Amino acid sequence: MTSLLPAITRETRSDKPVDAAVIWLHGLGADGNDFAPIVPELRLPSSMSVRFIFPHAPSIPVTINGGYIMPAWYDIKQADVSRRVDDVQLRRSAAAVHAFVRQQQEGGIESRRIILGGFSQGGAVVLEAALSCPLPLAGVMSLSSYFPTADSVTVSDANQTLPVLICHGSQDTVVDESLGKQSEKALRELGYQPEYHSYPMPHSVCPQEIRDISLWIQRLLS
């Protein structure tokens, strides 16, 4: 069994048992602290008791950064539109996400009330993780990201109709929005009906996107 990575945990309620979880992966060179502050910004209703888990990626050499060792979910070998990545490492990170799903399920949260989310590199990992997860999930969100394993992912029977949210910035110079649109197209070809949002922002998040993510989470977990 895959051991759990270190992670930051935030809960929306301290006076009520948690009945849902969001596992949210950061981007290249960041760590779990990057998105932990977003929890109060989502302004989820007080009736919802949700656990947010922000894992830390291991530190590995990254080819496009001259082999510099930094937090990364997988090695990126080329920074062009082809985004040649280390698929073995990506799937290893997806397995680490599956371990968090199992942990939450064993702790009493039904897997159908677990959402996976990720930004940039993290978004690529959660697309692979969600579609291949043997346990049925609530949904997956990929933010400012791409889908490098679209042609090789083994889709689980449990998640063939999974809700998918894709958000991307039209001014993104790190991960061009064309890659987000390619993800949407690939998911549709796999039989999914992703919800796609574009924002006039760079490689980041913006207030309107946070509102849209909140509404999407509320819809799935209501």
Which amino acid is present at 157? D
pTM above 0.95, yes or no: yes
Q: Is residue 33 part of a domain?
A: yes
Q: What type of residue is 92?
A: R
Tell me, yes or no, if 26 is annotated catalytic.
no
pLDDT given at position 3: 78
| Residue 111 within any structural domain of the chain | yes
pLDDT of residue 84: 82
**Tens-binned pLDDT, residue by residue, of the chain (222 aa):** 557 999 999 999 989 999 999 999 999 999 999 999 999 999 999 999 999 999 999 999 999 999 999 999 999 988 765 568 999 999 999 999 999 999 999 999 999 999 999 999 999 999 999 999 999 999 999 999 999 999 999 999 999 999 999 999 999 999 999 999 999 999 999 999 999 999 999 999 999 999 999 999 999 998
Whole-number pLDDT of residue 8: 98
CA–CA separation, 208 and 211 (whole Å): 5
Give the model confidence (pLDDT) of 142-169 as tens digits.
999 999 999 999 999 999 999 999 999 9
- The answer to the question of residue 2 being in a domain is no
How many structural domains does the chain have? 1
- Domain hosting 132: range is 7-221
CA distance 207 to 98: 30
**Span 3-31, pLDDT tens digits:** 799 999 999 998 999 999 999 999 999 99
Determine the pLDDT at residue 50: 98
Is-catalytic flag, 75? no
Q: Are 20 and 13 in contact (CB under 8 A)?
A: no
pLDDT the model gives residue 82: 59
Quote the CA–CA distance of 123 and 76 in Å, as a whole number: 14
Q: Of the listed 49, 56, 156, 203, which one is catalytic?
A: 203
Q: Which two tokens stand for residue 43?
A: 């302004």
Closest Cα partner for 146 from 121, 112, 170, 129?
A: 121
Q: Is residue 187 part of a domain?
A: yes
Spot the catalytic one: 31, 34, 172, 176: 172
Strand arrangement, sheet containing 164-169 = 7-11, 50-55, 20-25, 114-119, 139-143, 164-169, 195-199
CATH of the domain at 63: 3.40.50.1820
Euclidean distance between CA atoms 116 and 217, whole angstroms: 11
Query: Which of these is catalytic: 120, 132, 145, 183?
Result: 120
Question: Is 198 in the active site?
Answer: no
Q: Does the residue 189 lie in any domain?
A: yes
Instruction: Assess if residue 63 is contained within a domain.
Output: yes
**Counting Cβ atoms within 10 Å, is residue 193 exposed (0-12), middle (13-18) or buried (19+)?**
exposed
Residue 216 lies in a domain: yes
With respect to residue 1, please indicate whether it lies within any of the assigned structural domains.
no
Task: In whole angstroms, give the CA distance from residue 102 to residue 90.
Answer: 19
Q: Which of 135, 44, 54, 126 is nearest to 93 (CA)?
A: 126
